Amino acid sequence: MLKAIHPFDALMNITARPPTVFVRGEGSYLWDDTGKRYLDFIQGWAVNCLGHAPASVAEAIAAQAKLLITPSPAFYNSASLKLAKALVENSAFDQVFFTNSGAEANEGAIKLARKYGARHRGGAFEIITFEGGFHGRTLATMSASGKKAFEPLFEPKVAGFRKAKLNDLDSAKALINDNTVAVMLEPIQGEAGVWPATDQFLQALRALTHEHGLLLIFDEIQTGMGRTGKLFDYEHAGIAPDIITLGKGIGGGVPLAALLATEQASCFEHGDQGGTFNGNPLMCAAGLAVLEEVSKPAFLKAATEAGLYLESELQKLSARHGLGEVRGRGLLLALDLKLQIGASIVAQALEAGLLLNSPQPDALRFMPALNVTREEIAAMIDQLDAILTKCGAARRDV
Ligand SMILES: Cc1ncc(COP(=O)(O)O)c(C=O)c1O
């Protein structure tokens, strides 16, 4: 006998979601099952770098699905070979390991650092990470994260992570000991509310890690693939880490992520790392279609210009409504609301057909498609302006 349950109840209740059900997407827009259209400045949490259902990605997936979906990771496949080669050619790294999620890529980075410590640093295993950092939801990546809300969860934590303060070199220096093997950070802390590490701090960290023979690991799952106007955020600081992780934008919407390392850091041996779906051709075909577009200088230039336009419009909006600073880089920006009204704005925006994200109660985060147009940015600003005006009026009524 079939149980009569609401479909919402058949999913584990892991977060509060509005009752909206999305059925279609195109570029910067999504449609729900009632036909209502939404302007999307979340884009799957900075995932859909080419917007919803980009033709190049859809065609690449369809063509690959007809050819070969997976031969097993025990064999080479041509899509993963091509994507690995293209990533290596476009970055400071020599080898790639593909994963299915950002957390899994970071697990891989943590394992690679520990392997490096075992082989080259007398068993050193500790990794310095940062307060406020977010690296994923596996046990090790939650332990690496510096998110307050994770602290009481799933004890005991995986050992070996010590937390420094972002943009405070002395706090990282003070944690270095004989067990330290690496320093790992997001160049812009996204989930924490878009808090950038300064270029000077990143340069100083690079010098510090070189001085002590430590690996420098950048989690560019959110900042990579053009999100900050360059293919990788580390390029802004004019340095290169030893290991980088990519996710989100790399697949243009499909579950693909990657761990990249320099030849010196890439020290896995047979049996150390693997996984059934790692590097499967269906996802790698999507990744190739994305990289082909995103790595074009003209594409990155347009994304940079869109970011500057969004930033200046947000600054004007902030000045009009007496709000705080605009932080971030490229198309990963946050607006400081000064008050804990993020959730209320997000709810009102949803009602008005606009998708916004509030990673912290007092901040809005903007992560549109990298090919978002000026008209779409202007439309978002108009809608947000109207909501903020209403909020201001409501505040005066209190
Ligand atoms: C910087 C960073 N690292 C890691 C992750 C985890 O990636 P995933 O959710 O694909 O496991 C995220 C996801 O938001 C992220 O922003």
Q: What is the pLDDT of residue 392?
A: 83
Query: How far does residue 142's CA lie from ligand 1's centre (Å)?
Result: 11
Q: Has this prediction a pTM greater than 0.85? A: yes
43 lines ligand 1 (CB under 6 A): no
Mean pLDDT of 84-92: 98
Quick: pLDDT tens for 140-166: 999 999 999 999 999 999 999 999 999
Mean pLDDT of 304-317: 98
Contacts of residue 279, Cβ cutoff 8 Å, sequence gap at least 6: 73, 77, 80, 84, 97, 98
Contacts of residue 72, Cβ cutoff 8 Å, sequence gap at least 6: 276
Handedness of CA 261, 262, 264, 270 (dihedral sign): positive
223 lines ligand 1 (CB under 6 A): no
* Residue owning tokens 């390029």: 235
CA distance 292 to 57: 10
Res. 398 pLDDT band, cuts 50 70 90:
very low
Testing ligand 1's pocket by substitution, the residue of 221, 278, 365 carrying the most ligand atoms inside 8 A of its CB is 221
Query: How far does residue 102's CA lie from ligand 1's centre (Å)?
Result: 5
DSSP string, 268-281: --TTSS--TTTT-H
Nearest atom of ligand 1 to the alpha carbon of 186: 1
Query: How far does residue 46's CA lie from ligand 1's centre (Å)?
Result: 10
CA distance 30 to 328: 25
307 lines ligand 1 (CB under 6 A): no
Q: What is the pLDDT of residue 2?
A: 77
103 lines ligand 1 (CB under 6 A): yes
Peptide bond into 156 cis (omega under 30): yes
Query: How far does residue 280's CA lie from ligand 1's centre (Å)?
Result: 20
Quick: pLDDT tens for 205-252: 999 999 999 999 999 999 999 999 999 999 999 999 999 999 999 999
Query: In whole angstroms, how far apart are CA 65 and each of 8, 49, 53, 71, 287?
Result: 30, 22, 16, 12, 14
pLDDT score of 52 more than 80: yes
Query: How far does residue 170's CA lie from ligand 1's centre (Å)?
Result: 27
Query: How far does residue 4's CA lie from ligand 1's centre (Å)?
Result: 35
186 lines ligand 1 (CB under 6 A): yes
Torsion, CA 55, CA 56, CA 59, CA 65, rounded to 10: -130
135 lines ligand 1 (CB under 6 A): yes
pLDDT score of 5 more than 90: no
Phi-psi region of 373 (alpha: psi -120 to 50; beta: other; left: phi over 0): beta
Two tokens, residue 24: 């279609």
Mean pLDDT of 23-48: 98
Nearest atom of ligand 1 to the alpha carbon of 248: 10
Testing ligand 1's pocket by substitution, the residue of 248, 278, 357 carrying the most ligand atoms inside 8 A of its CB is 248
CA distance 96 to 279: 10
For the chain, what is the mean pLDDT? 97
354 lines ligand 1 (CB under 6 A): no
The CB-side HSE value for 389 (13 A sphere, CA atoms) comes to 6
- Angle, vertex CA 92, rays to CA 131 and CA 252, nearest 5: 70
Contacts of residue 2, Cβ cutoff 8 Å, sequence gap at least 6: none
CA distance 198 to 238: 12
Res. 394 pLDDT band, cuts 50 70 90:
low
Per cent of the chain over pLDDT 70 is 98
Testing ligand 1's pocket by substitution, the residue of 134, 234, 243 carrying the most ligand atoms inside 8 A of its CB is 134
pLDDT score of 396 more than 90: no
281 lines ligand 1 (CB under 6 A): no
* Residue owning tokens 């909501």: 387
Query: How far does residue 396's CA lie from ligand 1's centre (Å)?
Result: 39
Beta pairing, strands 29-32 & 22-26 = antiparallel
Task: Pick the residue whose CA is nearest to atom 4 on ligand 1.
Answer: 135
Query: How far does residue 395's CA lie from ligand 1's centre (Å)?
Result: 35
Query: How far does residue 87's CA lie from ligand 1's centre (Å)?
Result: 19
Query: How far does residue 104's CA lie from ligand 1's centre (Å)?
Result: 9
134 lines ligand 1 (CB under 6 A): yes
Query: How far does residue 80's CA lie from ligand 1's centre (Å)?
Result: 22
